[in-house]
Structures are given as structure tokens and as C-alpha cells.
A and B are shown apart, each in its own frame.
Chain A
Amino acid sequence: MITTKGNSKENIIRFLLIFASVISIITTIGILFSIFFQAIEFFQLKSFWYFLFGTEWSPGQENSKFGALPIFAGTFMITVIALLVAIPVGVGSAIYMSEYSSRLRRNILKPILEILAGIPTVVYGFFAALTIAPAIVSISGWFGLTAAYNSALACGIVMGVMIIPIIASLSDDVLRAVPNSQRNASLALGMTHSETIRHIIVPSAMPGIISAGLLGLSKAIGETMIVVMAAGLRPNLSWNPLEDMTTVTVRIVDSLVGDHAFDSPDTMSAFALGLVLFVVTLVLNMISLSQIRKFKAKYKINTL
């Protein structure tokens, strides 16, 4: 009698547990659908191909055009600058922490990186707009160049600093997971410590480092506050990082905080841009996960 009573109670609890687990799937589907249907409506009004490859973005007027190429280009430019800052510094820091520093020093450095990772992005945005952007204007002034006060360079640098801890922390874990036998074998053959790192450890850890880089890339593409506060609003197709540029996330925020009607093409363009953002970050994340899985399978590690 007691067992059956217990069983029915257990069944209810197990049902609740499964229900809770399914919420995460519902969330993803919810995000996908809420973006997808609005985007479809948008593409019924405006051409899909012009959206991907057109070069003029002029919302809020009659015959408004929605060619997002300059927006993608701006996102690309800022992201590339961010990665140029974050990958060398992040991987370098990770190598220092995992290979050179003492245990004690590592135990101090790791929490400091966590502090950097915990700073809200709105704070980075204020810092970029208040300190870094004017500094870049005056530095480029010394070289006789003119920089905008909302230059892509300022955003890119600060965004790079933001993703350093992401790349450093994951790379550090991966580098430390490389088996010690490989290190010892290389040192026994007479390689110097740095040669061991460069030719043995880093190539072994490469899938994990690539995974960290892709994660940083996806964070940089999806980052909103830094670019909303420090980048421009003007879609600008240019190769000059000192000019102002806009990004996908800036345009999403800009078209949703204005006083447009919810079913106007201006508002719905945000969902079309959101769909692109969703697909790109999802693909990057999938590749990143498959890389780290490859690394885990190779060295039979379960802790990453």
C-alpha cells in the first residue's frame, strides 16, 4: 500500500522534473518563432535578397530601403578589431597562467580575470564612450588623421577587452588538460620550454583554442551595450576603422525603442536582423561545441 502511494507521488514529481527540463526547449523554440514569424512578415513587404546584399538602409521614410550590407560590414569590422585584440592577449594570458606561472600566482590571476568577466557591458560601453573614444580621436590627431567620436576602433578595442577573459579562461582549461606525458616527452628530447609549448602543447590544444575563439566571436557579434553606447547609428560601408559604423545589434535597439507602430517595416526589420544574428551565433556555437568535443574525445577528458 505504501509503495503504490509512494509511486504515484514519485510519478508526479518525475513529471514535474521533465516539465521543468522541457522549459529550456520551449524557450529556444519561443525565441526562434517570435523572431521567425515577424521576419517572414518583413520579407513579405521587402525583398529578402535586397536585405542581404543591398547597400542602402533608409528606414522611417517613404519608399524606405532595407539593404543590410553596410550593417553587416560594420559588425564585421568591429568584431575583427575585437578579435585582433582578444585572441593574442587572451591566448597569451592563458599560456602564461597554465605553463609559466606558479600555482599561487595562478590562483591570484584567475579571480582577477573573473572580475573582468563580471563587469557589466553597460559599464564597458560608458568607458568606451567616455575615455577610449576621445583618446583615439586625439591619438589619431597626432598622426594627422581624423577619427570620429564614435569610431569602430574604440568599440572594437573595448569589446576585445571584454572577450579576453572568455578566451583566456577556456584556453587555460584546455591547455592544462593536455596530458603531462606530452610535455615530458618533448622536454626529454631536448626542446626548450617555449618550443614545447609552441610545437607540442598549443597544437594539441588547438581544437579547444579554436572553440574559445569562436565563442568569443559569437559573444562579440551579439554584444549590444558597448556598440549602442559607443558606435554610430549611421550604416556606413567603409574600410576605415576610424569612421563611425553601426552594427546589427545597434539597429535592432534603435528600431525598437523608437515610436514606430509595431507592424511597420521599421520595427519588423529588427526581427529580420535578429534572425540573422540568431542563425550566425547558433552556427558559431555549434562549431565551437563540436571542436571542444573533438578535443575531449581525443584525450578522454570529462572535466571540461
Chain B
Amino acid sequence: MNNQKNHNPFYDPSLSSRHRSARLFKAFTRGSILITLAFLCFFIFDMVRTAYPAMWQSYVKVEVSYNEKSSKISQKAIDKKFRKIVSRAWLRSIPKLLKQQPELMGTTANQWVLADDQVDQYMKGHHHNLKQKQVSVIETLKTNAQIELRWNNIFLSQGDSKLPENAGVYSSLIGSIFTLFVTLAIAFPLGVMTAIHLEEFARDNMLTRIIEVNINNLAAIPSILFGLLGLAVFINLFGLPRSSPLVGGLTLALMTLPIIIVSARAALRSVPDSIRQAGYGLGLTKIQIIQGNVLPIAFPGILTGTIIGLAQAMGETAPLIIIGMIAFIPDSPNSITDAATVLPAQIFTWAGMPERAYVEKTAAGIMVILLILFFLNAAAIYLRKKYEIKW
């Protein structure tokens, strides 16, 4: 072996250390990708674990007496020892229920009602602030099978609430849809028109260059500054209603614009010139060619970029906080000028709540937004794959 080394004119004594450093370097790069993957897995695991309890909600079976007294002071409808056990949100709804169904007056019923958030936390084995007396009441209910965890259908059907057991994402989802609708209605036509201008018409002059540099810069401006713009221009200058999906949508539209422009330009550029030349050969005008031939071919690419842009707008929070879309709004908006909140802003508000019960709600809200973003991105990838044309 030693002999071989001495007689080999190509033998490099540093070779083994060079190979060792090569292996180390490869291990470093592999390690960095593994760190990224490990973080993603840990993150998803942590969110699912935190969000899982929010799928269930505690209900208790108590005797409810509907009478004159309870229509005025709803606390009187149930036995004194259960008053801290049931949800105050449910208690408040009793007078309304009696107004709607007067035939219930004077009857008593043994029925399942929503439990208080502290009771719910106790049932799930989390930290709670219950007194010993209440804990023993719950334990008796447990042995009598009068308390149970049920599938939580409040979360997706109710709006925000100051009582965690009654809080849901419905109103913020509607707010998000309204806001994104405004964003789409503004950003899509403007973005596609800009892309057509830059790709098909613009000559290489000063204005074109300014627009191009400007679009690149617009994409890099921190989102919070768009919030300052929305506050100073849309709200203070134009007097549009604060906290409304209209202002939120306009602000997000300006942020989404660069994404749509860049992807639409790429889609238009990928249409081969032979299509345009064939059109000219048939005597069509430039506008006719773009309308009838270029745009239909480029459309799937434009759509993909638009969906990705909307997905980003969906998760954006900072500018919407600045324009006031974090107010407490339990009802869903009826028009784009009503005060509304959006899903990420709802997550932000819940994350700042002191009650322990909001932690699982926040994580559940995060799971909802991640699922929506996942489907939006999956739709974008599907469209790209399905309509992709190889020239």
C-alpha cells in the first residue's frame, strides 16, 4: 500500500483531508435542508396538537325552567349551583328564545346546553380557574353522564365573541371573502392590463423603464407601509369607512398588483410569436390578436399568478391592523362598506386574549387559514399543470 503511494506520480497526500472536507461540506448542506424540514414538521405538529381540542366543546345536561322570571333575569332559569357551569352566552339567549317560542313559557325541560369555557378547559384537562365547589359539581355531573364533549359546530358557524366557548370564525371568513373580492376586482384587471401594455405595446422608453423599476420596488415595500397609505389616503383623504372590506380590499389590491403583473407578463411572454404573426397574416389588428389569440393562450398562466397573489393577500395582517380591521365585530358584514374583520386579524385578536381557552381557538383558526391557503395553492398548481402548453 505504502509502496503504491510512493510510486504513484498522481498521489496527492492532501487527498484524504480534501475528501473529508468535501464530506463535511455535503453534510452541512444536507443538514441545513433537514433543519428546514424539521422545523416545518415540528411547526405543523405543534399547531395540530394545539388546535385539536378546539374540535370539541363541552355540553351539560341541566334542568331549565322557562317562566316569567327567567325571561327577565335569565340566570333564574337554572339551579343556582349550575350557574357558573353553563355558558353565559347561552343564558343571554333565553329571553330571545322565549320571545320566539312563547309556547315554552311555564315549562321545564331537561336539556343539553353549552358549558362555560372554564368547565370546558377542565374537561379537556387544561389549566382552569374553577373553585373546588364547582369542580365537585362537575365531577358529580360526570358520574351521572350529564356532561360530555361534543363536536364543536359553533366554531365554523358563529362570529367572534367575548366568551371563548361561543367564539367562531364565521364572520371573519365572510369578511375575508368580501375583502378578497374587492382585491380581485381591482387588482386583476389593472394587473393584466399593465402586463399587456408592458409586453405587447410599450416601447423601450423612459416611462416604460420607470414603470418596470417601480413594479420591482413595489413588490419589496414592507406591507405595513401599504397600511399607512390606506390610512392616510383612503380613510383620511377620500373619507371611506374605516374597518371596511372596501378599504382593506383596495389596500391589499395595491400589494397584490406586482405579483399579478409579474406572472401575467411571464404568461404573455411564453406565447410564441408565430401565433401573433399568423394573426397579422390573416389581417387582424393587434388588439384583435391579443383579445382573440394571445390572451386565451396566456390565461391559465395569468390565473395561476392571480390565485397565488390572492393567497398572499389572504394571509396579510399588518396593513389591515393599521386601517382598523381588528375591531371586535361579532356579526358578519352585509356589504363591503360595513365594519368587518378578516381571518388573520381574528387570529391576531384571539392570540392577544388572556383566557386560556382562546389558545386552542387561535390554533384552530390557524388550521382553517392554512387549509384555505393549501387549497388555493393546490388549485394554482393544478391549473398550471393542466393547461401548460409546451411549445
Chain A residues packing against B (C-beta within 8 Å): 6, 9-10, 13-14, 16-18, 20-25, 27-28, 30-31, 34-35, 38, 88-93, 95-97, 99-100, 109, 111-116, 118-123, 125-127, 129-131, 161, 164, 168, 192-195, 197-198, 215, 218-219, 221-225, 228-229, 249, 252-253, 256-257, 262, 270-271, 274, 277-278, 281-282, 284-286, 288-289
Q: Say yes or no for B351: interface residue by CB 8 A criterion.
A: yes
Chain A residues with Cβ under 8 A from B33's Cβ? Answer: 92-93, 96-97, 109
Report how far A285 CA is from B381 CA in the complex, Å.
29
Q: Say yes or no for B177: interface residue by CB 8 A criterion.
A: no
Contact A120 B190 (CB under 8 A): no
5 additional A-B residue pairs with CB within 8 Å, beyond A224-B223, A249-B222? A89-B35, A93-B32, A194-B22, A253-B224, A274-B228
Report how far A192 CA is from B22 CA in the complex, Å.
7
Contact B189 A126 (CB under 8 A): no
Q: A93-B36, A120-B316, A215-B220 are in contact. Are A27 and B211 (CB under 8 A)?
A: no
Residue-wise, chain B 35-47 has the 8 Å CB interface mask toward A (1 for contact) of: 1110110010011
Q: Say yes or no for B4: interface residue by CB 8 A criterion.
A: no
Report how far A288 CA is from B220 CA in the complex, Å.
10
Q: Say yes or no for B157: interface residue by CB 8 A criterion.
A: no
Q: Is the interface of B mostly helix, strand, loop or mixed?
A: helix
Chain B residues with Cβ under 8 A from A21's Cβ? Answer: 193-194, 197-198, 202, 211
Of the residues A22, A225, A252, A289, contact of B317 by C-beta under 8 Å:
A225
Chain B residues packing against A (C-beta within 8 Å): 18-19, 21-23, 25-26, 28-33, 35-37, 39-40, 43, 46-47, 50, 189-190, 193-194, 196-198, 201-202, 210-211, 213-218, 220-229, 231-233, 236, 254, 257-258, 261, 285-287, 311-312, 314-318, 321-322, 324, 326, 344-345, 347-348, 351-352, 359, 362-363, 366, 369-370, 373-374, 377, 381
Q: List 15 A-B contacts (CB under 8 A).
A: A10-B285, A20-B190, A24-B261, A25-B211, A34-B228, A89-B32, A119-B373, A120-B373, A122-B317, A123-B370, A126-B351, A194-B21, A252-B228, A256-B322, A274-B228
Q: Which residue of chain B has its CB nearest to the CB of A256?
A: B322
In this complex, the member of A16, A219, A228 whose beta carbon has the largest number of chain B beta carbons within 10 angstroms is: A228
| A-B pairs, 10 with minimum CB distance | A222-B222, A120-B315, A92-B32, A34-B232, A20-B193, A224-B318, A194-B22, A17-B197, A96-B29, A285-B220
Q: A127-B47, A252-B224, A253-B322 are in contact. Are A24 and B215 (CB under 8 A)?
A: yes
Chain B residues with Cβ under 8 A from A31's Cβ? Answer: 221, 225-226, 228-229
Chain B residues with Cβ under 8 A from A112's Cβ? Answer: 36-37, 40
Give A91 Cβ to nearest chain B Cβ, in Å: 8
Q: A6-B285, A20-B190 are in contact. Are A122 and B229 (CB under 8 A)?
A: no
Contact A127 B40 (CB under 8 A): no
Contact A23 B257 (CB under 8 A): yes
Give A194 Cβ to nearest chain B Cβ, in Å: 4
Of the residues A91, A253, A271, contact of B318 by C-beta under 8 Å:
A253
Contact A289 B216 (CB under 8 A): yes
Report how far A257 CA is from B326 CA in the complex, Å.
9
Contact B29 A16 (CB under 8 A): no
Of the residues A95, A131, A228, A284, contact of B46 by C-beta under 8 Å:
A131
Q: Which residue of chain B has its CB nearest to the CB of A16?
A: B193
Report how far A198 CA is from B21 CA in the complex, Å.
11
Contact A161 B39 (CB under 8 A): yes
Chain B residues with Cβ under 8 A from A90's Cβ? Answer: 32
Chain B residues with Cβ under 8 A from A223's Cβ? Answer: 222
Report how far A30 CA is from B285 CA in the complex, Å.
36
Report how far A22 CA is from B352 CA in the complex, Å.
40
Contact A123 B225 (CB under 8 A): no
Q: Which residue of chain B has its CB nearest to the CB of A197?
A: B25
Contact A121 B22 (CB under 8 A): no
Give B187 Cβ to nearest chain A Cβ, in Å: 10
Contact B211 A229 (CB under 8 A): no
Report how far A130 CA is from B352 CA in the complex, Å.
11
Q: Which residue of chain A has its CB nearest to the CB of B327?
A: A257
Give B310 Cβ to nearest chain A Cβ, in Å: 12
In this complex, the member of A22, A91, A109, A221 whose beta carbon has the largest number of chain B beta carbons within 10 angstroms is: A22
Contact A17 B315 (CB under 8 A): no
Q: Which residue of chain A has its CB nearest to the CB of B230?
A: A34
Q: Which residue of chain B has its CB nearest to the CB of A109?
A: B33
Of the residues B30, B210, B257, B311, contact of A96 by C-beta under 8 Å:
B30
Chain B residues with Cβ under 8 A from A116's Cβ? Answer: 36, 39-40
Of the residues A9, A92, A257, contact of B28 by C-beta under 8 Å:
A92
Chain A residues with Cβ under 8 A from B210's Cβ? Answer: 25
Give B44 Cβ to nearest chain A Cβ, in Å: 9
